[in-house]
Amino acid sequence: MIGTFEIIKQDKTSAARRGRLQTAHGMIETPVFMPVGTQATVKAMSPAELEELGCRVILGNTYHLNSRPGMEIMEACGGLHRFMGWNHSILTDSGGFQVFSLAKLRKMSREGVEFQSHVDGSRHLLGPREAMNIQRIIGSDIAMCLDECMPYPCDRPYAEASLDRTLQWAGDCRAQPRAEGQMVFGIVQGGVYRDLREKSAKELVEIGFDGYAIGGVSVGEPADLLIQGVDDGVRFLPPERPRYLMGVGVLTQIVESVARGVDMFDCVMPTRYARNGTAFTMEGPVPIKAARYKLDQGPIERDCDCYACRHFSRAYIRHLLNVNEILGARLLTIHNIHRYMRFMEQLRASIEEGAFEAFRTETNQRYSLQAIQA
């Protein structure tokens, strides 16, 4: 049944759980990492390549898809799945992050956010009604409520006003029509204020959603405050519903969040870092563009069976990157998404086998936040 979330194994030493979420376009095995396909594509990847790597859900963005190609084209082409040739699940962000990232181009009110388009300068209103209607036309499996992603730092009066507005929008979003089989998730906000996170979670649960996200983290705050934001939100969310941590892709933070009961993640890290010349490996990040790899005949990562590692050397990929050949970015993207997909497979297996704490310890020993962000 669409919308069913089944917990098939609960870890005995933490809140980590192994689950399955049924969507209109198939089953999502959780914990899951979702590559970001903001503009109807995961950059440098074809749908067939994503499928081959084991990806079964990607993320799209309401604001950007509404800007280009626009809903006239989207509707004429039968929705986002048909438009981009993707037969698996899609989650769409409502545009709330653009409220944060395009702060100089917007004006907020009870009715929504008036944006000045970053494309042509025209002005548009993105309110709860508009955000949900766009996502209905897109036909995503999971639609997100419109919210304001609070900045960091953020003073208390602003945080209170922002949260009140987000909660009002959540109620409005919940009341809007949706596509057949479409789920809607509410988003916990509240900045670094614990009582506001609690208020947000409790009021969203009272409204009632198919799942719940924790937003407003990974916006420049220290790592300890990011994890605090997860703690402050997740403990008030119902265990029978999926929980989604928005915009977090550091592997140690994923594991620590899974330990707190989070099921879903997304981030641009594997694709953006690839385009900048960095590969993720089980030993940490590798800056392939560095001069020390110019004669390196080894693969990106030892014992990796991805297409890039089976066929090409670090020296060759470094050459492609340094002469701006598209294939270089493509090969690194294939590897990075493969690494994330295998990491999540291993994480899920560790929960199933009762070995999550060992996996958690090993991950924290292998990686450091400083190394990943370097």
The rounded distance, in Å, linking the Cα atoms of 301 and 25 is 33
Reduced DSSP (H G I as helix, E B as strand, rest coil) percent helix, strand, coil of the chain, to 5? 45, 20, 35
Sheet holding 112-116, edge to edge: 106-109, 112-116, 123-126
Question: Helices (H), strands (E): how many in the chain?
Answer: 16, 16
147, 172, 263, 266: the active-site residue: 266
* 141 touches 86 (CB < 8 A): no
The rounded distance, in Å, linking the Cα atoms of 246 and 227 is 13
Q: Give DSSP secondary structure letters for 250-264.
A: -HHHHHHHHTTT--E
The rounded distance, in Å, linking the Cα atoms of 356 and 354 is 6
The rounded distance, in Å, linking the Cα atoms of 181 and 306 is 34
Name the nearest CA neighbour of 154 among 108, 189, 192, 125. Answer: 192
Neighbours of 311 (CB within 10 A): 10
Name the nearest CA neighbour of 54 among 362, 348, 353, 363. Answer: 348
Cα dihedral: 36, 42, 43, 48 (round 10): 150
Catalytic residue status for 172: no
93, 172, 210, 263: the active-site residue: 93
Catalytic residue status for 93: yes
Residues tagged active-site: 93, 266
